[in-house]
Every structure is written in structure tokens, then in C-alpha cells.
Structure 1
Amino acid sequence: MVGQKRKRSSLPPQYATAGDCCGGGGGRRKRLAGGGPDYLDELPDDLVLAVLSKLAASASSPSDLLSVHLTCKRLNGLGRHDMVFAKASPASLAVKAASWSEPVQRFLKLCADAGNLEACYILGMIRFYCLGNRSGGAALLARAAVGGHAAALYSLAVIQFNGSGGAKSDRDLRAGAALLPEAEPHPANLFMADWWASRGVQATAKKPGLEAPAAATGDSDGGGELRLCSHVRCGRRETRRHEFRRCSVCGAANYCSRACQALDWKRAHKAQCVPMDRWLLAAGEAQ
């Protein structure tokens, strides 16, 4: 390739470089201090972009990308291509709060605009929770979630659960549940579920004061019944009484977390959830 004219790719104007890697131009190949050819200067732009994209994908810190931009004019220009920003690794995007500045925000935005889902998530969370830009932050989180970013999808579900950015009346459990995909249960969860099932412990709930005795539920901890999470694929059990929260509507289901509550709502509880008082009234009328 030495001696051949460098093949230029059709880059957008904002990424075009003025002259060769070491400055100057006029088509004249620059020589190193020792008199040898500058082989980097002979590489076509497309090949350099491919190398920079690989570097961005494996970068272990933001400084890895910055060092490329400081190398020379050509790498500085090609390093700003969307292809490089789109491949930036999560580690290269992990900015610290103490280092936050407008240039950092611009860098994350460039990566997000290039389609980097991790950048969309990070900048979306910062804007929504730290900078108070609810609509802008939610839009970035949504973009990441649509692309399959699991953390962004979960964050949007949390926002729906809590009505974040709005009033308390904006809470929407159903909408939050719809955002949570139910993955295959982890082997540890399957083990716990089978463990309790083999001991006759079931994820049944009673209204306060109606708990079954410890012997009936396989509880050997003393002090009353310890409940299982009502999401059947969870397998977690309370470590103390009343550790898990009941469904605030029917009081007949217990959950270790909002995630399990949302997943169980989508799986089965939305068809079972009836306020306990209304159920008792209906039962009395039927007698």
C-alpha cells in the first residue's frame, strides 16, 4: 500500500480532515523524523474507521477515546464519526459525577445521536433524575428501551410504577407491568420454588389475623407464618414476619419487590385482584 494514494471515503463534511495525519497536504506523503514513510497516513479512511470502532468498543475508560482525538488531526476527525460514537463501550461512557460538564454532556449526546443505546440510557437517567429534564430524559430512555436496553426498560417501568415526574395519581401499575419482559427464571429461583413446594409451603396469603399456624405452612422459624412471594417463579420467602408487602388493592398477594408484583400482575394477578371487602360482601350475599 506504500506509494499508493490514500483512498478517501465519502465522509460527511463535519468529519472531513484538513490535510494529512501530521498536518500539511498537497497530496505529498509526509515522512517521519527518521525518514521512513508514515504508514498510518497511507491507510484508507474506511479502514481507519473500522480500527477506531474496534477501539471504541473495547475502551476501558473515557480517556481511551480522548487519547485518540489528541493524537493527530486526522484521527481527531475520524474519531468523531458516528460509527465510532455508536460503538463506544459502556466503560468509555461511565463518566463520574465530579467530572460532569457541558463537554461531557455533548459527548454523551453525540454517542446517543449515533444510536449508542448505553449513551441513551446514561444521559436519559441523568437528565430525568439529576437535571430535571423529565421529557428529554424519558425520550432517551424510551429510545434505549425500544432498542432492547434492559436497564432502560426497567427504569421506564419504575417511572410508571411511581408516577415519576408527575403527580401521585399518575402511577400506573398496569403500564409498568407491560414494560417488564418476563425472562426465563434463574436456576436459583427454580431451586427455591421447588424447595418450598416440596415442604408444603405455598404462596398463599391471608388477611391480617387469618394467618395459618406455623405447622400448617412448614414454618419452623417460630413467631408465625413467613410468606412466599406470590410471583410463582420467584421462590423468595420472608426472613421475618411482614417483610413483604401485600397488594394494596386486594390484600391477598405478597411480593418481595415491585418487579415481582408487576410480573405477577401481567401473568395472573390482574385476573384475580379483587378488593377483599367486596369479595367478602359477595360471599355473604351468596349464603
Structure 2
Amino acid sequence: MMGTYRKRISSSRPNLRTSDGEEVPVSQKKLRFTEQFKFFDRLHDDIVVSILSILIATSDCPSDFINARITCKNMYTLSQSPIVLAKASPKTFVRAKNWSEFGQAFLLDCANAGNIEAWYGLSFIVKAARKLHAAAMYSLALIQFNGSGGSKSMKNLKVGARLCQRAAYLGCADANREFGHCLQDGYGVSQDVSKGHHLLHLANVHDIGVVFSLVARSQDVSNDTMRNILAKWGHPVNQFLVDWFSIRVPDKGLRLCSNNGCGRPETRKHEFRKCSDCGEVNYCSRACQELDWKLRHKFECVQFDVDDDDDVIDEIEVMHIATTDA
């Protein structure tokens, strides 16, 4: 018995047309792919702008936003909206190793749109600080403490301490640690040892919280892991400086802060303070000195032997090294 069969009906596939009106045959798969992008054309521009704003504010790397930006012409046009660029997170800025004219132009567009992080990234520190940007305010404090950009006579410890206090209030962990040292040593403020110790304790608690929150899944809390995490933990602009100067040698005679997570360069010779024991490392601030001492330098300083069996050494080691002007 012969089996029955259905006559196969060939479906006509539409063709694409060139600008001259000539038909070009396309496969069904490519046609479906093309039809999907027509869906974006039917979305209202306000919806697309809202989606792009959320994406650029939550992206973990530049490619997350760039891939969406080059999806189609409409997406590219709307991605240049000031509403979108004003919400760009610093993680979407181009990395130092991939820096180009495009990256600089993108950063300038974000700054012109009123993005505070872009202001800070372009060294518009005062402008960002006026908008209560914590990291920018802390950077201004260090400029006052070190007299950056001028001579030692331009230092203003009182102004630096006030800026550091405001940055700590806004949530900057480094400023919290630095202001704790200011209170402890009477540096630019009236000395208050108990309050200084309290702020330093809060800074240490913050460091521990950062480590455990990032390694909770792997449950790896070894010393090497803690050093790597805390050294890289900080504002993306600081990481940009670290990467930038690792590729490009700074001006001759000028040093970088020895804290691996800082990246700040000197603006004049002997601006940063050095370790008074070994004289091999230098720091832009007491906060960087303390953090680098805990993470690295205490294992390398030639003048101080670490007793691993002493449980209380971590409480006194920060006070052991005094910093002096180079």
C-alpha cells in the first residue's frame, strides 16, 4: 500500500532590496535575525533610554555598554543622550591599557552631561568635590596635606583635616582611616586619641568586611587573597592610575605612592613621606602607609622582624613605623 504524503508547499521568502531597488535573496535565518532588530525600532525612545541608563550605571566593564551601543543605529544614537551618559559608572570608562582618543572623547561626553565620576576621572577634582564626591574630597585633603602642585609652604593641615573629615562622613574608607590618624596624632586638628583609635577600628572593620564579602563563595581567606583583594579594592580611578603608570614611566625623579592600590604620583621631588626604617618606600598619606604595611611592607622592611607567633603584634605594628619627610 502506497503511503500518503503531503505535497510540500514552498513558501516564498521575501528579499531585501538595495538602495538601487535591486532585490537580494536572503536566507530565512538571516531574515528572522533582521526581523528581531526591527523590534527595537518599534520601541519608544524613552524606553530605550531608560534601559541604556540602567545598563551604563550597572555595567562591570566597558564592553557591557559598548556591545549594546553598537547593536543598531538607533541604539547608538540614543546611547549618546546626556540622560544616559550622566549615569555612567566609572567601571564603564575605558581601561588604561586600551586608552585611545575614543575613550577620552567618551569620558568628555560623560563629563559634559554632568557625570560626577567623569569629572573626577578627568581630574576636575574641585568640581566633583563641590557635588559631595567622597573620593574627590579625600584627594583634595591629600593635596592640602602634601602641598601638591607647589612647595612645602603651601601645605594647609587644617583645611586638609576638615576635607578629610567630610570625606569620611560621606563614606570614604581611606578618608576615615586618614582622619583617624589625624585625631590620634593631632595632625591639623585637636588631638583626641580615643576618637582616633575608634575611627581606625572602623576602618579595619571595613577592610575585613570587604574581604569576607568578596571571598564568601570561595571561602578562601588566606593572607595572599586578602592582600590581593585589598590592594585592588578602591575607586576605579585609582586602579586606572596604577595601570597607567605601570605602562608609562612617570617623569624622571618623581615617585609613585608605594601602596599598590593607590597610583598617586608626586607633583614635585620628595613630596611623599618615606619609611623611616628602610627608606625604600614612600606614601602619599598615613592611610596608604598603614594599609601597605599590613598587606606587604611588614614582610619586607629590613629593619623590623615580624614574630608570627605574637598574637598582639597586629595591634602595635602600625605604630612602630613613623614616617618622616624625605
- TM-score w.r.t. length of structure 1: 0.49
- TM-score w.r.t. length of structure 2: 0.44
- Higher Cα Rg, which structure: 1
Name whichever structure is richer in helix by fraction.
2
